[in-house]
């Protein structure tokens, strides 16, 4: 446990390092913050912080910079910030100006969040916990070859070629399409699989293909994310090394980024702050991530968050992620229940 004075000095070091990106010395702390003790006392307290693993001194005679443990202490001692009301109104207005489409909201959320925190923003489109069928269509391509077109709720279109053991005309395909659309509408993959009401062999084959497509879709926990603000993080001094930048860019281009990066136990409204070495990916060991889930709990959800250097302004990042997620949750709820 840190004493009150040690905690105050550590918070000053973190704030100064976030602002200046250079080691913070005892003289600067005494002069700028007037904490009522001598530079020698501050040096002694900094030595205790270093022994406890809260700060690191790049040079023995120089100032200190926060370690991951120091940042963690700082984050957990933060007083919750709120986005100013005028900024909240402006953000809400921008969301209500765009069309009621999930893709547009997701793209806008990423752009606004990146601008708010001057770092990378990652936002996935909301995804239903279990896909549901909106429409089934079959189109004959050759005598025994047809294209299955499966429209899922949330406007997702899936296609698959099917080869049959018998010749099936387009007229027969039309009848099958109408029958299966009526029978399977609004059903999940599990509910479709349980349907055994007098289907023909061709209809059973189509049903099996539908179940397989939906199973593959439901295996994906999150959609591929929209990523904005890469230019912000590249301007940070931590990323002047070419290798660090290349590793980060490669990781961000990974199509499975959402699955690889995100904690399994994200919950709506709960903010996760992942600092430095706590990240799974080696490319993020010099970064921190602030992330949360949004949507309608238990029905449809997505994730949004920011990635920046460990020296990110955590108060602003946390309040921005919290507010934009609450906006997105409201919008998705309106669309989902409407």
**What are the tens digits of pLDDT across the range 83-115?**
999 999 999 999 888 877 778 889 999 999 999
Domain shared by 192 and 180, yes or no? yes
CATH code of the domain in which 43 resides: 1.10.10.10
Domain shared by 330 and 273, yes or no? yes
Domain shared by 290 and 316, yes or no? yes
**What are the tens digits of pLDDT across the range 168-215?**
899 999 999 999 999 999 899 999 988 877 889 999 999 999 999 999
Domain shared by 294 and 212, yes or no? no
Instruction: Check: pTM over 0.75? Answer yes or no.
Output: yes
Instruction: Answer yes or no: are the C-beta atoms of 167 and 193 closer than 8 Å.
Output: no
pLDDT of the residue at 337: 66
Domain shared by 111 and 34, yes or no? no
pLDDT of the residue at 162: 94
Domain shared by 45 and 189, yes or no? no
Higher pLDDT, 84 or 217: 84
Asked whether residue 16 carries a pLDDT value surpassing 80, the answer given is yes
Domain shared by 114 and 204, yes or no? no
Per the prediction, the chain carries an average pLDDT of 87
Listed residues 202, 219, 236: the one ending a domain: 219
258 band by pLDDT with thresholds 50, 70 and 90: low
Number of independent structural domains in the chain: 3
Mean pLDDT over 6-30 rounds to 92
Q: What's the rounded Cα separation, in Å, for the pair 54 and 51?
A: 8
CATH code of the domain in which 229 resides: 3.30.450.40
Domain shared by 98 and 121, yes or no? yes
- Domain interval for residue 169: 133-219
pLDDT of the residue at 153: 78
Asked whether residue 261 carries a pLDDT value surpassing 70, the answer given is no
Give, rounded to a whole angstrom, the gap between the first and last alpha carbons of the chain: 51
Listed residues 165, 193, 219: the one ending a domain: 219
Q: What's the rounded Cα separation, in Å, for the pair 149 and 135?
A: 8
Domain shared by 306 and 204, yes or no? no
Domain shared by 17 and 112, yes or no? no
264 band by pLDDT with thresholds 50, 70 and 90: low
CATH code of the domain in which 142 resides: 3.30.390.60
What region does 140 belong to: left with phi over 0, alpha with psi -120 to 50, or beta? beta
Mean pLDDT over 238-250 rounds to 76
DSSP secondary structure, 236-275, as one string: SGGG-SHHHHHHHHHHHH-TTHHHHHS-TT--BTPPEEEE
Domain shared by 228 and 331, yes or no? yes
Tell me which residue of 175, 172, 182, 184 sits closest to 208, measured CA to CA: 184
**What are the tens digits of pLDDT across the range 273-285?**
999 999 888 888 8
Q: What percent of the chain has pLDDT over 90?
A: 53
Domain shared by 333 and 254, yes or no? yes
Listed residues 38, 59, 76: the one ending a domain: 76
């Amino acid at each position: 446990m840190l004493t009150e004075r040690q905690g105050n000095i550590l918070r000053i070091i973190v704030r100064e390092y976030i602002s200046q990106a250079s080691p913070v010395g005892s003289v600067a702390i005494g002069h700028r913050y007037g904490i009522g003790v001598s530079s020698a006392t501050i040096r002694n307290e900094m030595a205790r912080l270093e022994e406890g693993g809260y700060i690191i001194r790049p040079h023995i005679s120089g100032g200190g910079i926060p370690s991951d443990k120091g940042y963690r202490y700082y984050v957990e001692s933060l007083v919750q910030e709120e986005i100013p009301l005028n900024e909240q109104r402006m953000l809400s207005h921008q969301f209500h100006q765009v069309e009621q489409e999930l893709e547009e909201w997701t793209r806008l959320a990423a752009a606004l969040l990146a601008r708010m925190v001057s770092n990378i923003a990652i936002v996935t489109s909301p995804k239903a916990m279990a896909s549901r069928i909106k429409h089934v269509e079959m189109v004959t391509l050759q005598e025994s070859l047809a294209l299955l077109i499966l429209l899922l709720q949330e406007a997702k279109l899936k296609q698959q070629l099917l080869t049959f053991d018998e010749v099936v005309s387009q007229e027969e395909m039309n009848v099958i399409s109408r029958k299966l659309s009526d029978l399977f509408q609004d059903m999940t993959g599990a509910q479709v699989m349980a349907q055994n009401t007098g289907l023909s062999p061709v209809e059973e084959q189509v049903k099996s293909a539908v179940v397989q497509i939906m199973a593959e879709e439901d295996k994906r926990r999150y959609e591929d994310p929209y990523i904005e603000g890469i230019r912000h993080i590249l301007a940070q001094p931590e990323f002047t090394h070419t290798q660090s930048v290349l590793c980060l860019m490669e990781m961000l281009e990974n199509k499975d980024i959402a699955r690889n990066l995100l904690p399994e136990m994200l919950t709506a409204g709960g903010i996760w702050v992942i600092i430095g070495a706590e990240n799974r990916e080696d490319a993020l060991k010099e970064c921190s991530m602030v992330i949360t889930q949004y949507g309608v709990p238990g029905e449809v959800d997505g994730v949004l968050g920011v990635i920046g250097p460990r020296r990110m302004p955590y108060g602003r990042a946390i309040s921005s992620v919290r507010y934009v997620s609450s906006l997105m949750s409201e919008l998705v709820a309106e669309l989902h229940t409407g």
